[in-house]
Structure 1
Amino acid sequence: MRRDAWASVSMGLVSVFTTAVWKLLALFGYAAIYAYLAPWHLPATQWYTWVIALVGVDLLFYAYHRIAHRVRLIWATHQAHHSSQYFNFATALRQKWNNSGEILMWIPLPLLGVPPWMVFASFSVNLIYQFWVHTERIDKLWRPFEFVFNTPSHHRVHHGMDKQYLDRNYGGILILWDRLFGSYADEEFRPHYGLTKQVDTYNIWKLQTHEYVAIGRDVRAAKRWRDKLGYAFGPPGWAPRDAPVLQK
């Protein structure tokens, strides 16, 4: 477990620097959208602007998170966070290095007049909230809280590799999105964590890149263009009907 934790922490440290570059680029883009394309500018001093920013970021996080589990090329980045066979606070730090288009998901907010700095502040709040849900030490909480918010129980399900838990509970702060859009699953038994095809390595470079390598191999081997596109943009585990089904 110690080597796994160190791998998670190391991936998180590298992510701090790579994420800073992406966010700096996004800041300039959001500022231009906010200044020249937004039909109005919401006042940062009003409480409702914060509500729009926080709830908007959470909804867009849900949307991106769901896409990241259903489009293999984006999953290739996100899978790094799911690659640990343990579930603890160190796992929360096991973050991706490549943005994979996530910064594009927040464009609707500056376009609706939310100040760019509030978009980033709201995303930081969202990310910080998600840290504490990465634990097995906290059981199910008060039922009304469990109904509205993402909790350790909900997020354990999300990290489970068990068939009934796959691609469930995408919410960041609110679990309401999963209930609303049909992706919710309750924790019925202790999940088994990691990928359905485990990557037994602590090499952080391999943990970040192995799925890209697999995509490249599958695309090169495919004979038809539709199959090449399917291997890259289909869901993880996609394969032509006349080929063996790959594991996610």
Structure 2
Amino acid sequence: MPNLPDPVLWSIPAFVLLTVVELISFLVRPDEDEVGYATKDTATSLSMGLGSLLTNLGWKIPAFALYNLAYALTPLRIGVHWATVPLMLLAQDFCYYWSHRSNHRVRLLWAQHVVHHSSRHYNLSTALRQPWTDLSFGVFYLPLVLLGVSPAAVAFCSAVSLVYQFWIHTERIGRLPHPIELVFNTPSHHRVHHASQGGYLDRNFGGILIVWDRLFRSFTPETGKPVYGLTKNISTYNPLRVATHEYVSIGHDLASARGWRDRLGYLFRGPGWLPAEAESAPAAPALTTEAAA
């Protein structure tokens, strides 16, 4: 199998350059209808991105141990060449859709993913606001390995998806030609995903392709100006608090739970879930973009 490059590593200079260009564009041609940049928010996003490069190394260890075990057990093998890589990317994107959707529907997974939605700004630096934890341990991509895709190829496809999704975190690009909007995830589609209001909540989970959302009825077009962030925003720029605030909230809920059924609900139901006896009582909205499941 040929050595596969690291798309994220090779793309870092482009990430930096494009972010600077976008920032300058706001200075040269400001738009009152666009959120733009804020110094503290951007610094937090960059800190979260740099921190994730370090923390992800630890979280990848159990994932790759699982992948290597599965790869050793499966008799299937898919080689890496020009005909198979597009199919691998397609399969990875399908798995990513369900992983991403689950991150919004399971509170324990939302606790890691909420980091990416915690900014009230939407620009290229927001793409770098990445989680410092990964409690899914790569299980959503395990089917690829069982089908014969090597762990290295799975990592390569995941990195390609991450690089693709960088450019869609912008307000500077409007709607693209209809054929592109029909098939691919675009800035317009992803702005909806980062919005915190009404019918925009928990929509458009696709990575590279938007066709999965269209097929599985989670697609919503951009029809009005999005309001970015959470339904109840956090008031901190401290990277450690940004990375852990939902875990802290889960801890408080578990401490007040009346039994194991409630504890499991707080962990594995939707982020806005409450026990039946609590639903009838007034309560502050949860730190989430997910309606009660």
TM more than 0.5: yes
1:164 is aligned to 2:193: no
> Could you say which residue in structure 1 is the equivalent of 2:227?
192
SS across alignment from 1:208 = helix
RMSD: 1.3
Q: Which amino acid aligns with 1:78?
A: H
**1:152 and 2:166 correspond:** no
Preserved contact between residue 64 and residue 102 of structure 1 (Cα < 8 Å): no
Gaps of 5+ in 1: none
Query: SS where residue 145 of structure 1 aligns?
Result: helix
1:108 aligns with 2:143: yes
Matching residue of 1:2: 39
Residues 170 and 183, structure 1, Cα contact 8 Å, conserved in 2? yes
The gaps in structure 2 that reach 5 residues or longer are 1-37, 289-293
Q: Which residue of 1 aligns with 2:32?
A: none
> Which of 147, 153, 157 matches 1:118?
153
Aligned to 1:224: 259
| Separation in 2, partners of 1:79, 1:64 | 14
- Cα deviation 1:74-105 (Å, max 9, x = unaligned): 10110000000000011000000101114121
State the distance in 2 between where 1:80 and 1:46 align: 36
Q: What is the distance in 2 between the residues matched to 1:221 and 1:27?
A: 36
How many residues align? The count is 246
Change (3 A) 1:4 1:65: same
1:139 aligns with 2:170: no
- 8 Å CA contact 2:63–2:137 kept in 1: the answer is no
State whether residues 59 and 137 of structure 2, in contact with CA within 8 Å, keep that contact through their aligned partners in structure 1.
no
Distance 1:18 1:139, change over 3 A: same
**More displaced stretch, 162-171 vs 37-46:** 37-46
Aligned to 1:38: 74
Q: Which letter maps to 2:80?
A: A
| CA deviation vs aligned residue, 1:12-48 (integer Å, no higher than 9, x gap) | 001001112223443343233222x22321122351x
Q: Which runs of 4+ in 1 moved over 4 A?
A: none
Give TM-score, length-normalised by structure 2.
Answer: 0.81
Amino acid at match of 1:45: H
